[in-house]
């Protein structure tokens, strides 16, 4: 049986960076009905190892994170992402949805900003290569409204040639080796059908990802692009479900079914309560691709 993991910590709904606007106030109640599903398992996030964090971030930055009140959930946020990756790659889970209290993609080697504290995905990749196989390959699709500068900086710092980083943000750029690609998605809001225009950009990114053999696909999923949120591109609620369908189909065809969704930006409580359980449902209704 294919199994979906939900990684969550109660503190994310009470005292965290991205929930300063109360976006997860309806959780965990909003997904409790899903726990009766035989193939869904809930995990409470454990703190990430400080030894692992030291491999990615400088001591100066770690001290600053620890003294920043808005980073109170930093260790638990990253810990769930790290554990989910390990469980997927060892076939204990097929896929996972990771809630976070503070984000990761604006956390670089020696800096953090924008509601991010530790770089959760880079920590997870590092841990997996140390515990499972040193040559594991990954794709990261970042559909948060803002550029994943911290993730990009760390991939360059460690000269990681086994990660393809695809970022839908505010610029068009591609590295010489084709492993770091940015897509300017900001212009979609000026078109009559922002949903269709944005989904066309997602398709373009996935087409590029299909040419990069990999062991696990990360979807760094922000809903701050939703109309009326702080990174609005005018997208409808349904657009995010369409992205989920595209990502899920891609992972079935190209990622050996291994997909990890990591929550990113977005501030609206009602949107979180409506959208996030539906994304988890899609992960849990996983059928073999014909």
Distance CA(234)–CA(84), nearest Å, equals: 31
pLDDT at 290: 40
The reply to whether 241 falls in a domain is yes
The reply to whether 175 falls in a domain is yes
Q: What are phi and psi of 246, to 5 degrees?
A: -65, -45
- pLDDT tens for each residue of 153-209: 999 999 999 999 999 999 999 999 999 999 999 887 777 899 999 999 999 999 999
With 50 as the cut, is the pLDDT of residue 289 above it? no
| CATH code where residue 267 lies | 3.40.800.20
pTM listed for this prediction: 0.96
pLDDT at 187: 81
With 60 as the cut, is the pLDDT of residue 9 above it? yes
- pLDDT tens for each residue of 235-287: 999 999 999 999 999 999 999 999 999 999 999 999 999 999 999 999 999 76
The pair of structure tokens assigned to 90 is: 């060892």
Mean pLDDT, the chain, as a whole number?
A: 94
- pLDDT tens for each residue of 58-70: 999 999 999 998 8
Inter-residue contact 85 to 5 (CB < 8 Å): no
pLDDT at 16: 66
With 70 as the cut, is the pLDDT of residue 142 above it? yes
Q: What is the count of structural domains for the chain?
A: 1
- pLDDT tens for each residue of 32-53: 999 999 999 999 999 999 999 9
Least confident of 5-19, 28-42, 109-123: 5-19
With 80 as the cut, is the pLDDT of residue 24 above it? yes
Only one residue has tokens 């078109």, namely: 191
The reply to whether 290 falls in a domain is no
The reply to whether 156 falls in a domain is yes
Inter-residue contact 95 to 165 (CB < 8 Å): no
pLDDT at 266: 94
pLDDT at 280: 98
How many of the other CB atoms lie within 10 Å of CB of 279? 22
Q: By CB neighbour count within 10 A (0-12 exposed, 13-18 middle, 19+ buried), where does 141 fall?
A: buried
Query: Can you give the residue range of the structural domain that contains 146?
Result: 4-284
pLDDT at 286: 74
The reply to whether 121 falls in a domain is yes
The reply to whether 180 falls in a domain is yes
User: Which long-range contacts link 24-28 to residues 24+ away (Cβ below 8 Å)?
Assistant: 24/99, 24/269, 24/272, 25/269, 26/269, 26/272, 26/273, 27/99, 27/272, 27/273, 27/276
- pLDDT tens for each residue of 59-98: 999 999 999 988 999 999 999 999 999 999 999 999 999 9
The reply to whether 162 falls in a domain is yes
Mean pLDDT across 10-38: 85
The reply to whether 289 falls in a domain is no
């Amino acid at each position: 049986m294919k199994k979906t993991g939900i990684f969550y910590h109660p503190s994310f709904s009470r005292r965290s960076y991205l929930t300063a606007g109360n976006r997860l106030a309806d959780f965990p109640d909003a997904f409790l009905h899903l726990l009766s599903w035989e193939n869904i398992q809930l995990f409470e996030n454990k703190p990430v190892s400080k030894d692992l964090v030291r491999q990615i971030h400088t001591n100066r930055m770690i001290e600053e994170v620890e003294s920043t009140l808005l980073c109170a959930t930093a260790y638990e946020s990253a810990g769930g992402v790290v554990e989910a990756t390990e469980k997927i790659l060892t076939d204990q889970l097929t896929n996972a949805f990771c809630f976070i209290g503070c984000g990761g993609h604006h956390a670089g080697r020696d800096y953090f900003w924008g509601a991010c504290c530790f770089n959760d995905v880079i920590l997870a990749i590092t841990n997996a290569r140390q515990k499972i196989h040193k040559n594991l390959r990954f794709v990261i699709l970042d559909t948060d409204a803002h550029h994943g500068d911290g993730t990009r900086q760390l991939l360059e710092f460690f000269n990681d040639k086994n990660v393809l980083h695809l970022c839908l943000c505010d610029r068009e750029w591609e590295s010489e080796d084709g492993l770091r690609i940015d897509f300017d998605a900001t212009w979609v809001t000026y078109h009559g059908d922002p949903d269709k225009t944005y989904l066309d950009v997602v398709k373009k990114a996935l087409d590029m990802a299909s040419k990069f053999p990999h062991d696990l696909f990360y979807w760094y999923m922000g809903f701050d692009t939703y109309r009326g949120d702080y990174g609005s591109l005018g997208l409808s609620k349904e657009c995010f479900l369409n992205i989920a369908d595209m990502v899920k189909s891609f992972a079935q065809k190209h990622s050996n079914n291994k997909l990890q969704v990591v929550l990113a930006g977005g501030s609206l409580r009602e949107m979180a309560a409506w959208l996030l359980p539906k994304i988890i449902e899609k992960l849990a209704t996983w059928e073999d691709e014909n």
